Amino acid sequence: MNRLFFLITIAVAGTVVVATAFAQQHRPYNQIMKDVGYTFASLKKNLDANSAAAAAADAAKLEGLFTETEAFWAPFDTKDAVGFAKNARDAAAAVGTAAKGNDIKTAQASYSAIQKNCASCHFAHREETGKGFLIRP
Ligand code: HEC
């Protein structure tokens, strides 16, 4: 009986810890990244097609997603990751401004600036396992 009580206590404590971690994480990180990947591909397609309005909409969505990315990294105190997320958000804002002004060339340049930050953050903080990706804070 005592042993059972002990196990239940452990199970409850474990649930609380996991629940707290998830509450702080807002939504699973890979969902944010999947949205980022999808929106970033759509942005490229729209820029290449000179669809300025659609590109501006994608850029605005990316801004929000990178704000979410930054919020995820902030509690780890992983300063370079927070910086990559911030730079990516600023570059997304620049894409949006240029696209709204119908300046696709400048928008493409800022698109490349976003991409640099994807690559830098993945190089430093993403681990390929063969079955998927892991976060390396
Ligand atoms: C601040 C760091 C950071 C930035 C910036 C970042 N990523 Fe990621 N990304 C990660 C980490 C860490 C993972 C691995 C964890 C995961 O998959 O959830 C990841 C995973 C991914 C995945 C795989 C998602 C899955 O699990 O299926 C895609 C796709 C992706 N990123 C696309 C992008 C693109 C495109 C950009 C830029 C437009 C970008 N990321 C910017 C950190 C970042």
Name all domains of the chain by residue range, CATH numbers in brackets: 27-135 (1.20.120.10)
68-101 pLDDT, tens digit per residue, is 999 999 999 899 999 999 999 999 999 999 999 9
Supply the pLDDT for residue 96: 98
* pLDDT of 54 higher than 80: yes
Per residue in 12-48, pLDDT (tens digit) is: 555 544 455 554 546 899 999 999 999 999 999 999 9
Report d(CA 137, CA 131) in Å as an integer.
19
Residues in the chain: 137
37 CB within 6 A, ligand 1: yes
**Ligand 1 probe mutation, 66, 122, 128, 129, most atoms within 8 A of CB:** 122
The predicted pLDDT at position 107 comes to 98
- Per the rule left: phi > 0, alpha: psi between -120 and 50, beta: everything else, 127 is beta
